[in-house]
Amino acid sequence: MSCQKAALELNTGSQPGPKSPERTEDVTAFEDYGTGLLENQLSVCDFVKIQKAFESPEPRKIICMSREDFTQKMTEIVGWGTKEEYGELFDKVDVAQDGFINWDKLTSFILLELYEQDERAKATVVPQWKDLEFLPLKHKDNIQKVIFLKSSSHYLTISKEGLLAIWGENLKLQETFPITSDATKLKHLWVTSLVSLENVNKIAVAFTSKEICFYDLLSKEEFACQYKLQGLKGTPICMDYWYDPLDANESILSFGDITGKVQAIAFTAALISLFERPASACEDGEATMTINWAELLSGCHKCCHILEHKLHQGDWVRQVTYNASLDAIISSTTSNTNSVVLAWREKSKTHLNMTSFNIAQGIHAFDYHSRLNLIATAGINNKVCLWNPYVVSKPVGVLWGHSASVIAVQFFVERKQLFSFSKDKVLRLWDIQQQLSIRIACSLPESQDFRCLFHFDEAHGRLFISFNNRLALLAIKSDASKRVKSHEKAVTCVLYNSILKQPSQCEEDTNEDPYDN
């Protein structure tokens, strides 16, 4: 970024510093975070003068200044500000305490300030929501999962009775299919969870028949079952899938069951095949291949291996996920002992080391923000707690505001905010830095007893909340008023001047408007 562009972000004024009354109206919102700081009040012209002071008559020679030189020259060249203020600016720029700074160091500091300003602004913006609407569904039983398929830009919803609904990106219902296994047809068992295996164009569905079925999305037959994993010791009730974006062969399917066991299948050649097809298997590529869990445990399939632990000791595992930045499987229960367990993979990738959080009365759900390095937990005791994954003794923050058990939490990753939803149907959005919340007003169903599914699709700004077999949608309004506009009328052409290294634009009924700041 050039000096002029960086300066424009800070201040579009061209008059001397704050001691000149004409300049006050040009001060940007950045000063809200540091009123009176010198670097927040420098104008474009000020930066041009500073840049010239660092220019050398000899090509490719870098001019460095000591603290004394910098404070002396800046007060003379810029024409406003005290030596003490420029000395403070020098100390901020000279992070390494070398005693010298140059133009590159100064501009790097300014750009970092702009980035931090932008991050703070995002965290304080409260999204505006459209009116709550309920999607027209054909599900007759509880909705178990909502997922978005990036490859086809479709949403999938699945309900307890095994009905899979396909939605367009515009949330128009397109098709429905019954997803069942042979066992569920015979015994009237249910679907418990659904995950998308994006890297291999498949979905995995867990059933109360203690099996997981893998369906091929590219099959000629609609949702053909390609693999059927049977022989699990407990009923899987939650699942998660992750794959390495740099090497899509590496992926992990993790799941938790009603016996308190957390298990994961680590695939090493997912793009080739999830499981090895035996030589005796039918050559028909569409035929379903049955795999027994004991086969995977014995290591018969060389393209994958098993990770597991039993630290939850008989409590139902309510949620499980693998996080690559931690290289750990995170799971939770409603118990007050081992409420959250982090199973860290060792260097060999085949064994796990466990740490756990004990949370009073247990939790319903959790979420992890990798950039903030925080785990948020939805407490049965009405609290939302924030945890450092490496500190198990106590939370680093507690968010108070709910008057009923919190049943869901999810981070708004880009804005570093947090959603929480409680059993009394109160939806809150938290500013993590300030630990303050707002209550999002929306009219929710009156039902007293309901099973809730909570899913925020950040890419599309859509929040889904299910109430048994009903699915509510809250969508964020697009705020066109905050878009940056350089012209009042429609822009008709844009040209780039390679000599001045600046763009020029024209709008309707006007002459050329060069950016010559």
Q: What is the CATH number of the domain that holds 190?
A: 2.130.10.10
**Domain final position from 324, 358, 392:** 358
223 falls within a domain: yes
Assigned domain for 165 exists: no
Give CA–CA dist 258/237, Å, rounded: 7
Angle (deg, nearest 10), helices 67-78 and 44-54: 130
Name the domain boundary from 124, 142, 165: 124
pLDDT tens digit at each of 517 positions of the chain? 444 444 444 454 444 554 433 333 333 333 344 446 788 888 889 889 899 889 888 888 888 999 999 999 999 998 888 889 999 999 999 988 889 999 999 989 988 887 777 776 666 677 888 989 999 989 999 999 999 999 899 999 999 999 999 999 999 999 998 987 665 555 668 999 999 999 999 999 999 999 999 999 988 777 889 999 999 999 999 999 999 999 999 999 999 999 999 999 999 999 999 998 765 555 555 588 999 999 999 988 999 999 999 999 999 999 999 999 999 999 999 999 999 999 999 887 788 999 999 999 999 999 999 999 999 999 999 999 999 999 999 999 999 999 999 999 999 998 889 999 999 999 999 988 888 888 787 767 776 678 899 999 999 999 999 999 999 999 998 764 445 556 667 777 888 776 655 676 666 665 554 444 4
Residue 432 is assigned to a structural domain of this protein: yes
Alpha-carbon distances, residue 509 vs 351, 411, 506, 516 (angstroms)? 70, 47, 9, 20
pLDDT of residue 517: 43
Let me know: does 28 contact 11? Beta carbons within 8 Å: yes
Which of 354, 402, 396 has the alpha carbon at shortest distance from 379? 402
Q: Considering Cα of 329, then 263, then 365, then 457, what sign does the dihedral take?
A: positive
| Model pTM score | 0.73
Q: Are residues 341 and 387 in the same domain?
A: no
Domain co-membership, 263 together with 305: yes
Q: Which long-range contacts (CB under 8 A, 24 or more apart) does 431-436 make?
A: 431/123, 431/124, 432/123, 432/372, 432/374, 432/386, 432/397, 433/120, 433/123, 435/397, 435/399
Would you say residue 455 lies in a domain?
no
- The 3 state secondary structure assigned to 172-193 is CEEEEEECCCHHHHHHCCCEEE
CATH assignment at residue 55:
1.10.238
Strands 224-230 and 289-292: what pairing?
parallel
- The residue from 441, 474, 508 where one domain ends is 441
Are residue 219 and residue 295 in the same domain, yes or no?
A: yes
Question: Same domain for 215 and 297?
Answer: yes
Q: DSSP character for 96?
A: T
Tell me how many domains the chain contains: 3
Same domain, residue pair 303 and 383: no
399 located within any domain? yes
* Residue 494 β-bridge partners: 505
Range of the domain at 436: 362-441
User: d(Cα 86, Cα 488) in Å, to the nearest integer?
Assistant: 38
| pLDDT at position 38 | 82
As a whole number of Å, the end-to-end CA separation of the chain is 14
